C-alpha cells in the first residue's frame, strides 16, 4: 500500500437506474487503515457506492479508484477487495472450513498454504471449534464470523461490509461491533461499512460519511458529526435534536445575535458571515429540566411534561412548552433516592446554555 494515496477515491460518481439517480455527484476519499462508515437512510445510495467498490455496480459517470488504480473494467473476481454480505451469503453446501478456504482454492493458492491460512482466519474470528460444521448448524452470529473469516483470509486491501449487523439481536450486535473494531486494528486494512444505524456508525467508525438522496452531506469523525453537524439533515439523522427556528440579526466578532421564534434574542458563538434564516439545534442531553424556574442566565422555557419514555439508565422527557412547542430532554437517572421521576402533566422548566446550541443555516 503506497503512502499518501487514499485506499479508495470516488471521483464525481453518478449512477442512474432508469430515471432514478441513486448516486448524484459523489467525491469521497477513504483514508488508509481507517474504519469508514457510509451512513444514511435506505435508498440514499450508500449500498450502491459499496457495490461499486466490489464491482457489482458500475458508475454511470465518474471514476472509482482503489489504492490509486482505476477500477473501470475490472471484474469483481479480479479486485483486491472482499465483501461481507448483508445476508452473509455463506455457502450452504460447504462446511465452515470449506467456506473459508473457497476463496483461496479458486484463486489458485497452493494447497499446502490454504490449510494454515484457513486455520489462522478461523482462530481470528474464534470459530476453530466449528470448522467442520455446515452453516445450517450455526447461529446468525457464527455465520457472520464465517463470512468475515472468508473475506479476511484473502488478505484484501479493503474489506467491505454491507449492513453486517442488521440481522443480529441487540446484545450480539454490540459484541460484534467491538469485535469488528478489534479485527480492523488487528489486520490493519481499511474497513468500509454501510449502515443505516447511527449508533453503529458512531461507536465503530473513525470517519463517517452521511448520505441522503445520492449525495454526501458531511464527512467527519463521530464527535464532529454529533457535535458539529453542518446541516439540518445530519443534525436530525444523528441522534435526537431540538430545532428552534429563527433569524440571524447580526454577526461580528465571533458572535451572532439570533431572534428565535417564541424565545427571543439569543447570543451564540459564530465565526462566519451573517445569514438570514437559521435554526438553533440543541441536543436533548444538553437540556436541563427543573421543577421551579432556575436562576440562570440560560434560555428558560416553562412547560408541562407531555410524555416520558423510560429506558432505565435514562429517560426521554417530552415537554410541551408554551413558547417553542414540544422539546425533548434527556434525563440521566443518576440517583435512586433523589431523582423523583417526572410524571405526565407535571409543570416544569426547560433550560439550556446558548453555547450548547448549534447554528444551522442549511
The residues that touch other proteins, with contacts defined as CB under 8 A, are 54-56, 75-78, 81-83, 85-87, 89, 91-93, 102-103, 106-107, 134, 150-151, 154
Q: Residue 208 CB, nearest distance to other proteins (Å)?
A: 24
Nearer to other proteins, 50 or 207 (CB): 50
Residue 107 cell numbers, joined? 484463486
CB of 18 to other proteins, least distance (A): 12
Considering beta carbons, is residue 103 or 222 the nearer one to other proteins?
103
> Shortest Cβ distance from residue 134 to other proteins (Å)?
6
Q: Which is nearer to other proteins, 109 or 306 (CB)?
A: 109
Residue closer to other proteins (CB basis): 60 or 87: 87
> How far, in Å, CA of 143 to CA of 333, rounded?
38
CB of 89 to other proteins, least distance (A): 4
End-to-end CA distance of the chain: 38
CB of 244 to other proteins, least distance (A): 45
Give the residue with the Cβ less far from other proteins, 194 or 241.
Answer: 194
Least distance from other proteins to the Cβ atom of residue 100, Å: 10
To the nearest 10°, the Cα dihedral for 154, 155, 156, 160? 80
Residue number with CB closer to other proteins (75 or 254): 75
Nearer to other proteins, 58 or 78 (CB): 78
Q: State in angstroms the smallest separation of the CB of 14 from other proteins.
A: 23
Burial 140-150, CB ≥16 within 10 A → b, else e: ebbbbbbbbbb
Measured in whole angstroms, the distance separating CA 260 from the mean position of its chain's CA atoms is 31
Amino acid at each position: 500500500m503506497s503512502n499518501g494515496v487514499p485506499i479508495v477515491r470516488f471521483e464525481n460518481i453518478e449512477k442512474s437506474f432508469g430515471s432514478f439517480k441513486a448516486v448524484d455527484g459523489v467525491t469521497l476519499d477513504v483514508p488508509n487503515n481507517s474504519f469508514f462508515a457510509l451512513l444514511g437512510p435506505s435508498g440514499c445510495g450508500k449500498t450502491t457506492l459499496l457495490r461499486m467498490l466490489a464491482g457489482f455496480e458500475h458508475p454511470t459517470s465518474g471514476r472509482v479508484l482503489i489504492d490509486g488504480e482505476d477500477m473501470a473494467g475490472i471484474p469483481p473476481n479480479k479486485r483486491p477487495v472482499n465483501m461481507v454480505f448483508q445476508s452473509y451469503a455463506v455457502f450452504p453446501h460447504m462446511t465452515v472450513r470449506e467456506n473459508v478456504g473457497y476463496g483461496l482454492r479458486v484463486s489458485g493458492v497452493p494447497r499446502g498454504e490454504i490449510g494454515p491460512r484457513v486455520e489462522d482466519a478461523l482462530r481470528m474470528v474464534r470459530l476453530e471449534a466449528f470448522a467442520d460444521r455446515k452453516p445450517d448448524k450455526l447461529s446468525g452470529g457464527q455465520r457472520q464470523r464465517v463470512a468475515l473469516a472468508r473475506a479476511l483470509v484473502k488478505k484484501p486491501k479493503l474489506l467491505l461490509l454491507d449492513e453486517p449487523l442488521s440481522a443480529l439481536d441487540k446484545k450480539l450486535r454490540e459484541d460484534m461491533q467491538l469485535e469488528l473494531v478489534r479485527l480492523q486494528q488487528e489486520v490493519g486494512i481499511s474497513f468500509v461499512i454501510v449502515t443505516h444505524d447511527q449508533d453503529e456508525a458512531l461507536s465503530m467508525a473513525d470517519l463517517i460519511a452521511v448520505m441522503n438522496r445520492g449525495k454526501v452531506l458531511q464527512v467527519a469523525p463521530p464527535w464532529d458529526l454529533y457535535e458539529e453537524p453542518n446541516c439540518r439533515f445530519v443534525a436530525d439523522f444523528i441522534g435526537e435534536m431540538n430545532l428552534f427556528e429563527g433569524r440571524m440579526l447580526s454577526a461580528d466578532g465571533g458572535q451572532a445575535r439570533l431572534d428565535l421564534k417564541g424565545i427571543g434574542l439569543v447570543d451564540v458563538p459564530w465565526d462566519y458571515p451573517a445569514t438570514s434564516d437559521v435554526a438553533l439545534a440543541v441536543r436533548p442531553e444538553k437540556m436541563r429540566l427543573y421543577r421551579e424556574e432556575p436562576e440562570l442566565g440560560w434560555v428558560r422555557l416553562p412547560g408541562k411534561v407531555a410524555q416520558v419514555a423510560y429506558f432505565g439508565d435514562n429517560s426521554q422527557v417530552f415537554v410541551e412548552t408554551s413558547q417553542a412547542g414540544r422539546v425533548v430532554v434527556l434525563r440521566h437517572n443518576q440517583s435512586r433516592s433523589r431523582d423523583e421521576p417526572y410524571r405526565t402533566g407535571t409543570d416544569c422548566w426547560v433550560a439550556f446554555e446558548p453555547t450548547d446550541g448549534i447554528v444551522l443555516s442549511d
